[in-house]
Structure formats: C-alpha cells, structure tokens
C-alpha cells in the first residue's frame, strides 16, 4: 500500500514538472520570435536609411 501511494505521488510530481517544462518552452519560443522580428525591423530600417543617405549625398546639388 505504501509503495502504491509513493508511486502515485511520483507520477503526480512528474506530470507537474512536465507541465512546467512545456510552459517554459512556449514562452521561450515566443521571446525568440519577438527578438527575431525586432532585429529584422531594425536592420530593414537601417538599410533604408543607408540607401537614402547614399542616393542623396550632402553638398551635391542636381
């Protein structure tokens, strides 16, 4: 009886730990995608700024 009770308690703990691990992996995926999107937008704006600067140099009049 004691062994069965211990086994049931271990199963419950394992299920609880698995749930926590799934939650952590989901939140880390969301954070990873947010960082990728932020960096993509940043570099896109940087490239647009460089192109505008190069296409219209300072001091040269058309």
d(CA 53, CA 33): 30
* Segment 39-49 mean pLDDT: 96
59 or 52, higher pLDDT: 52
pLDDT at position 61: 62
Q: Is the pTM of this model over 0.85?
A: no
pLDDT digits (tens, 9 = 90+) for 22-42: 777 777 888 899 999 999 999
DSSP symbols for 1-62:
-HHHHHHHHHHHHHHHHHHHHHHHHHHHHHHHHHHHHHHHHHHHHHHHHHHHHHHS-TT---
Per-residue confidence (pLDDT) for residue 47, from 0 to 100: 96
């Amino acid at each position: 009886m004691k062994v069965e009770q211990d086994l049931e308690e271990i199963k419950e703990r394992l299920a609880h730990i698995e749930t926590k691990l799934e939650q952590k992996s989901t939140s880390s995926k969301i954070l990873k995608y947010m960082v990728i999107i932020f960096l993509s937008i940043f570099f896109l704006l940087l490239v647009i700024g460089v192109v505008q600067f190069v296409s219209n140099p300072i001091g040269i009049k058309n």
